[in-house]
């Protein structure tokens, strides 16, 4: 039985060599670098550090993709009822929050609710004026740099962005084994990244991140594409780009089609999110990780837990503990689920 891959997102709190070594000893088998928050130099740094520990470790470069993001701002403290104005200007007036997508105002309408930072912050659109979007904070404490903004119903994305095309050749020196294509809507999204990698002379496999209803609807086409090595179930965006109450249904559809096609499946987003601050996971998180293993996922991924959290090593230890227990009972767990569904 193959061991479940433990994919750890790395960042400021896991950048030191001794931390990476301890994470590896604790059970980390792959490293993910989020290129929306990192440079090609950062990718090379992490790749060289982890390969100095063990050459067998895998490196995943996660492309920014067409996600609508807050610009490079200083963290902005907010509170419910506060008025916030976004703008597509590159050099905004004092107080405006830049957004790195020129079409942002056309994606939203008054009354719609925008989410950012994986749903930790919500804002209601009050008015759209030219290149500005004026909102009221519903909940949340911070607006943070480079965090994504989820807009209801927006799926008109190009298969690959100019930013990604320019970035891909810069990744070559790090020799990542995997490159993740973000917001994949169809097989063409994977093929576009594959062509860019081939053009740069990079043999890295392409993983398709499924994070929109359109991606779920076209999942069979995506996984049957020869250029697709696997999928990442990106639940953070999927929960807000689609109806959040449909998250389980959408995730199961993705897992089923990927497994049928013999492609890798990695479950992602908030697997052990409480461990950003705490040293023990919630019971719901234990259940979540265990279920991912029982469902046959090939990997589970940490995000902020190991990139920005205060307990990156302990997070990996806990993840390995839960994964190992579920792996040891995988067939029994599946048998129990079958019996339950048969009732």
Q: Which of 123, 150, 177 is the last residue of a domain?
A: 150
Q: Is residue 164 part of a domain?
A: no
User: Taking a C-beta distance cutoff of 8 angstroms, is the pair 31, 175 a contact?
Assistant: no
Q: What letter would DSSP give residue 278? A: -
Give the pLDDT of residue 1: 40
- pLDDT (0 to 100) of residue 153: 62
User: CATH number, domain at 12?
Assistant: 3.20.20.60
310 shares a domain with 209: yes
Predicted local distance difference test score (pLDDT) of residue 58: 98
| Listed residues 150, 185, 201: the one ending a domain | 150
Whether residue 216 is contained in a domain is answered as yes
Q: Give residue for tokens 């490079």.
A: 72
Last residue of a domain, one of 89, 117, 150: 150
**C-alpha to C-alpha distance for 223 and 220, rounded to whole angstroms:** 5
User: DSSP letters along 221-276, please?
Assistant: HHHHSTTEEEEEEEHHHHHHHS-GGGHHHHHHHHHHHHHHTT-EEEEESSTTGGGG
Q: Residue 144 sits in which domain range? A: 76-150
For residue 83, what is the domain's CATH number?
Answer: 2.40.33.10
Q: Classify residue 46 by burial, with Cβ atoms within 10 Å: 0-12, 13-18, 19+.
A: buried
44 and 144 co-located in one domain:
no
Residue 62: closest CA among 179, 147, 172: 179
140 and 273 co-located in one domain: no
What pLDDT does residue 132 have? 94
Q: What is the pLDDT along the chain (343 residues), one digit of tens a residue?
A: 459 999 999 999 999 999 999 999 999 999 999 999 999 999 999 999 999 999 999 999 999 998 889 998 999 999 999 999 999 987 777 789 999 888 889 889 999 999 998 888 999 999 999 999 999 999 999 999 989 898 876 666 788 999 999 999 999 999 999 999 999 999 999 999 999 999 999 999 999 999 999 999 999 999 999 999 999 999 988 887 778 899 999 999 999 999 999 999 999 999 999 999 999 999 999 999 999 999 999 999 999 999 999 999 999 999 999 999 999 999 999 999 999 999 9
What's the domain count of the chain?
Answer: 2
Instruction: Tell me, yes or no, whether 180 lies in a domain.
Output: yes
CA atoms within 13 A of residue 300's CA, in its CB half-sphere: 32
Residues 221, 338 within the same domain: yes
- Domain assignment present for residue 276? The answer is yes
What per-residue confidence (pLDDT) applies to 332? Answer: 96
Any domain includes 325: yes
Residue 281 in domain: yes
Establish if 321 belongs to a structural domain. Answer: yes
Q: 229 and 85 in one domain?
A: no
198 belongs to a structural domain: yes
Residues 332, 212: one domain? yes
Q: Assess whether 202 and 279 both reside in one domain.
A: yes
Considering the domain architecture, whether residues 85 and 33 belong to the same structural domain is answered as: no
Asked if 281 and 180 sit in the same domain, the reply is: yes
Please indicate, yes or no, whether residues 173 and 217 belong to a single structural domain of this protein.
Answer: yes
Do residues 205 and 329 both lie within one domain? yes
Q: Clarify whether residues 176 and 300 are in a common domain.
A: yes
């Amino acid at each position: 039985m193959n061991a479940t891959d433990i994919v750890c997102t790395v960042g400021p709190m896991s950048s030191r060599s001794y931390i990476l070594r301890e994470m590896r000893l604790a059970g980390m088998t792959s490293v993910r670098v989020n290129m929306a928050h990192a440079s090609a130099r950062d990718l090379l740094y992490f790749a060289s550090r982890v390969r100095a520990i063990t050459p067998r470790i895998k490196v995943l470069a996660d492309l920014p993709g067409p996600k609508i993001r807050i610009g490079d701002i200083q963290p902005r403290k907010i509170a419910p009822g506060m008025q916030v104005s976004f703008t597509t200007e590159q050099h905004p007036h004092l107080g405006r929050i830049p957004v790195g997508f020129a079409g942002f105002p056309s994606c939203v309408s008054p009354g719609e609710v925008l989410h950012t930072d994986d749903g930790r912050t919500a804002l209601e659109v009050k008015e759209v004026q030219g290149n500005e979007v004026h909102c009221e904070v519903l909940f949340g404490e911070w607006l943070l740099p480079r965090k994504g903004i989820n807009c209801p119903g927006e799926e008109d994305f190009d298969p690959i962005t100019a930013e990604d095309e320019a970035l891909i050749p810069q990744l070559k020196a790090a020799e990542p084994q995997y490159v993740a294509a973000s917001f994949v809507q169809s097989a063409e999204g994977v093929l576009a990244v594959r062509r860019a990698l081939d053009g740069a002379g990079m043999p890295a496999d392409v993983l398709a991140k499924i994070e929109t209803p359109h991606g779920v609807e076209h999942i069979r086409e995506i996984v049957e594409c020869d250029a697709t090595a696997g999928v990442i179930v990106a639940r953070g965006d999927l929960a807000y780009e689609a109806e959040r109450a449909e998250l389980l249904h959408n995730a199961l559809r993705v897992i089923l089609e990927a497994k049928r096609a013999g492609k890798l499946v990695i479950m992602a987003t908030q697997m052990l999110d409480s461990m950003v601050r705490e040293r023990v996971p919630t019971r719901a998180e234990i259940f979540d990780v265990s279920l991912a293993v029982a469902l046959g996922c090939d990997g589970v991924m940490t995000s902020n837990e190991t990139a920005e959290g205060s307990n990156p090593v302990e997070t990996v230890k806990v993840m390995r503990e839960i994964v190992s227990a579920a792996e040891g009972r995988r067939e029994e767990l599946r048998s129990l689920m079958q019996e339950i569904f048969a009732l």
